[in-house]
Structure 1
């Protein structure tokens, strides 16, 4: 009898502990999306499934399916959440050349979300992902300006850059070069390559004559 009583008490204690640690609402969703990001970086998109994310988040598949109907929806939600929570600092060194170089160097670091996402997806076929890199990048950036947009706006105010030369493609050029290097090599550009991007390609196109 005493053994049965102790067993029931232990079960009650476990239930109480579980109730105390049970996650709900926004807390649960944030925990799932954090686990989803970790899963994407750890094993790539091939192993980014509802099962693996649920296991990493220590919850059940039905909990995820109540929020996202497919792993593609889960991926987009994961990318949006990561983009909103980690906003990189825009360099402000006082001149456009150093600002652009520092911005690209920041993007090359392992802590950069876009670079990390590209690394995780690089070995996957985007037909399998069901989304283009441009769509995922747009999800991550949201409505905020890119660091290059801010840098170039400051450069125009200082008289370093000709505003009439800043077409949308020219504004995106620094990171177009960055992304091309990443996709072609599966690695971030070297420091020397970043300087070459800025000095030999970008600045000659935008500097005020």
Structure 2
């Protein structure tokens, strides 16, 4: 999808993969299905264990820094190139986020469980909106600036927004 979803065709993928369109259609009935599989595959290349720095703050900053490094380069490009995809498939950006970034959510849950074990927070039962907030704010920063977030921005999101909500009695 180097040229955007509008130029993304089953024919071009088949040619590049040196296979037939029919082989691709058997596995992915629409170009939207194939595009989503390609996005998921690209995201899967960046999977790793959740960071363990020894503190809740350090772990969340490390997780966000890794997401910033791995995904910020493509986040803005995908949002622009996938406009036609959203219209054609009825998928929303939120649907795509859920199917692609689910692993980060699992990592944050593990980070919160470890923080409970260390006595940093009383419970890992954090509302979903609060758990999503660091990633949502990071994505907003990348989309608004069309650049990776600075280390200062990541620290601000964690220190001024996320931790006060999680540490709130």
Range into which the TM-score falls when normalised by the shorter chain: 0.7 to 0.9
Consecutive unaligned residues of structure 2, counting only runs of 5 or more, are: none
TM-score, normalising length: structure 1: 0.68
Contact 1:160/1:208 (8 A) holds in 2: no
Q: How far is 1:89 from its partner?
A: 2.7
Distance 1:196 1:76 in 2: 32
Consecutive unaligned residues of structure 1, counting only runs of 5 or more, are: 1-39
Given candidates 145, 151, 164, the residue that maps to 1:204 is 164
Distance 1:155 1:66 in 2: 46
Distance 2:102 2:144 in 1: 26
1:193 is paired with a residue whose SS is: helix
Distance 1:156 1:101 in 2: 17
Q: How far is 1:58 from its partner?
A: 2.0
- What aligned pairs does 1:2-13 form with structure 2 within 5 A after superposition? none
- What aligned pairs does 1:180-199 form with structure 2 within 5 A after superposition? 180-199=140-159
TM-score, normalising length: structure 2: 0.82
> Would you identify which runs of 4 or more consecutive aligned residues in structure 1 move more than 3 Å?
79-86, 114-117, 141-145
Q: Residues 191 and 142 of structure 1: is their aligned pair in 2 closer, same or farther, counting only changes over 3 Å? A: closer
Given candidates 121, 132, 150, the residue that maps to 2:78 is 121
Aligned alpha-carbon RMSD (Å): 2.5
| Residue in structure 2 matched with residue 15 of structure 1 by the alignment | none
Q: Residues 168 and 95 of structure 1: is their aligned pair in 2 closer, same or farther, counting only changes over 3 Å? A: same
Distance 1:117 1:201 in 2: 25
Aligned residues, how many? Answer: 166
Q: Residues 89 and 153 of structure 1: is their aligned pair in 2 closer, same or farther, counting only changes over 3 Å? A: same
Q: How far is 1:130 from its partner?
A: 3.7
| Residue in structure 1 matched with residue 13 of structure 2 by the alignment | 53
Contact 1:80/1:139 (8 A) holds in 2: yes
Contact 1:79/1:139 (8 A) holds in 2: no
| Residue in structure 2 matched with residue 100 of structure 1 by the alignment | 60
Q: How far is 1:184 from its partner?
A: 2.1
Contact 2:14/2:21 (8 A) holds in 1: yes
Work out which structure has the larger RCO, using CA pairs closer than 8 Å and 6 or more positions apart in sequence. Answer: 2
Q: How far is 1:145 from its partner?
A: 5.0
Who wins on radius of gyration, i.e. which is larger? 1
